[in-house]
Amino acid sequence: GVILLALISVRMSLLMSRANNGFYTALQELNAPAFWLNIGIWALILVGFVARALVNYYVKNLLTLDWRVWLTEHLMKQWLNKQNYYRSHFAKTSMDNPDQRIQEDIGSFISTSLSLSVGLLDACVSLFEFTILLWTLSGTLALFGIEIPRAMVVLAYVYVLTATIVAIWLGRPLINLNFLNEKLSANFRYALIRLREYGESVAFYGGERVEQANLSTRFKAVIANYWAIIFRSIKFDGFNIFISQLAGVFPLIIQAPRVFSKEIKLGDMMQSYSAFREVEGALSFFRQSYDSFANYRAVMIRLTGFLQVIDEAETLPRITPKHQGSTLNLQHFCVTRPDASPLTTELSLSLKTGDALLIQGPSGAGKTTLLRSFAGLWPYATGELILPEGDVLFLPQKPYLPLGTLKEALFYPRAAAEIDLLPVLEHVQLAYLAPRLDEEDDWSRVLSLGEQQRLAIARALLTRPAAVFLDEASSAMDEGLEFALYQMLRRELPEAILVSVGHRSSLVQFHNHQLNLAGAGHWSLVK
């Protein structure tokens, strides 16, 4: 539809050019009936021109929205598939601000793709149609003793191609400057988001001066790059304006002698003028759109970089656990750092229904990394992992609470169900939140870390998983509360396999197995 409307637009421009010829010639010949007839024809063409423009606006926006919905959902699916949003951190290719690439760059890519492709089609068809028209209206021109046949066509092509070469030379630096503008602006925005996210920590440290200096540095980089764009655009736009204005009189200068010698009529001159402008406009498409191409290339670099990182994340190795039986088994399990230095080597163990394993060791020994490997998040792990059939729940030290109601946060990642949640909240000592279950808020800011950890433990009571992995999931609680919650977990989920990472010795009494990681691949298992 968009292509058809672009072709209709060129045809209407050609018809309007012929109508213009008719009433200019009628004016020269003082032929009033012919003048008004051509005005009537011109008016009919104008109605069609306006109707086409409105339909074209609707169809182009329909295509843009459909395309954007499809592409955004497609990239979001790839981004979330196989935990690529997390595993991309381990990709060799670095990537900044994936949120901007999904939210902003997709829109820029689609709108620019459409405008440039339709503009190119329009330019090619216009060039073909109006070159033929200009050819019929052109005559011979003597220049420096050399006669140039069909001079209007030849000069139009020479004029525009020369201008385009100069414009590309002037505008080439804009490609890199526009790419830097996107990157630096996104980095500045990301720093502002981080300040909002960690506002309390910054306030406790009194780090306002450091944050001010960091934000100022990033903002100054944005402004410096913008000034570079301004100075380069002054040269580029100034040249384009000069060339465009000169093109307004150039065809009149060429055709005026033929009018004075009565070789052609005024209508022919005006039609050749409009045809020249159409040919000049078509040939100038790349020159006039060079800044758009520069922006387009910057967006393409960012989106292809985004896809490259996703591809790299998907090709990273991962442990694929088997779900069978009611036991948790590890065989020859090895975990390393990205530099291949060992954290855990040849780890083998077996946990049956109701068993509990406590993983302890010094900081940096790989306790949390081992749990990441169980979840398939850590790519630098090998071995065989068998998990029990049924749900498996991982509770990190800092729980994730989605935007929405407290009830939705409580059931995450499942859909909220209409059940009585008061007993569950009482089990985790959050009964005072029961009246607020249907309130929408940013609960990660409303609740303390200790309350968030208790809410996460409540998820285990609702899910009733076959295995629960707790990565210091009670670290923000006092020992008395931690004792009560572990006691409650063992009572309410007696058949679940429990795997905990923690430093406190008070956790030992709730676990009948203990894995001590010593680092450098060394470990010991106590039953």
Q: Is the pLDDT of residue 96 over 90?
A: no
How sure is the predictor about 356, in pLDDT bands with cuts at 50, 70 and 90? very high
Over range 154-174, report the average pLDDT.
80
Q: Is the pLDDT of residue 397 over 80?
A: yes
Over range 345-349, report the average pLDDT.
91
Q: What is the pLDDT of residue 16?
A: 79
Residue for token pair 């055709």:
255
Q: Is the pLDDT of residue 31 over 70?
A: yes
Over range 47-71, report the average pLDDT.
90
278-282-283-286 Cα dihedral, nearest 10 degrees: 140
Q: What is the mean pLDDT of the chain?
A: 85
Is there a contact between 211 and 270 (Cβ–Cβ < 8 Å)? no
Q: What is the pLDDT of residue 452?
A: 93
Over range 319-333, report the average pLDDT.
89
Q: What is the pLDDT of residue 143?
A: 60
Sheet holding 342-351, edge to edge: 322-323, 381-387, 328-336, 342-351
Tokens, residue 84: 């690529």
Q: Is the pLDDT of residue 100 over 80?
A: no
The lowest-confidence range among 198-207, 393-402, 420-429, 467-476 is 198-207
Q: What is the pLDDT of residue 504?
A: 85
Q: Is the pLDDT of residue 200 over 90?
A: no
71-75-77-79 Cα dihedral, nearest 10 degrees: -170
> Which residues fall within 8 angstroms of residue 426, CB to CB, at 6 or more apart?
none
How sure is the predictor about 5, in pLDDT bands with cuts at 50, 70 and 90? confident
d(CA 448, CA 450) in angstroms, rounded, equals: 5
Task: Name the phi and psi angles at 392, rounded to 5.
Answer: -125, 125
- pTM, whole model, 2 decimals? 0.67
How sure is the predictor about 93, in pLDDT bands with cuts at 50, 70 and 90? confident
Q: What is the pLDDT of residue 329?
A: 92
Q: What is the pLDDT of residue 465?
A: 92
The pLDDT tens digits of the residues spanning 418-477 come to: 888 999 999 999 999 999 999 998 888 889 999 999 999 999 999 899 999 999 999 899
Over range 248-256, report the average pLDDT.
72
Q: What is the pLDDT of residue 140?
A: 64
What type of residue is 457? Answer: I
Q: Which residue has the higher pLDDT, 102 or 146?
A: 102
**Residue 410: other Cβ atoms inside 10 A:** 24
The pLDDT tens digits of the residues spanning 271-301 come to: 777 777 777 777 777 777 777 887 788 888 8
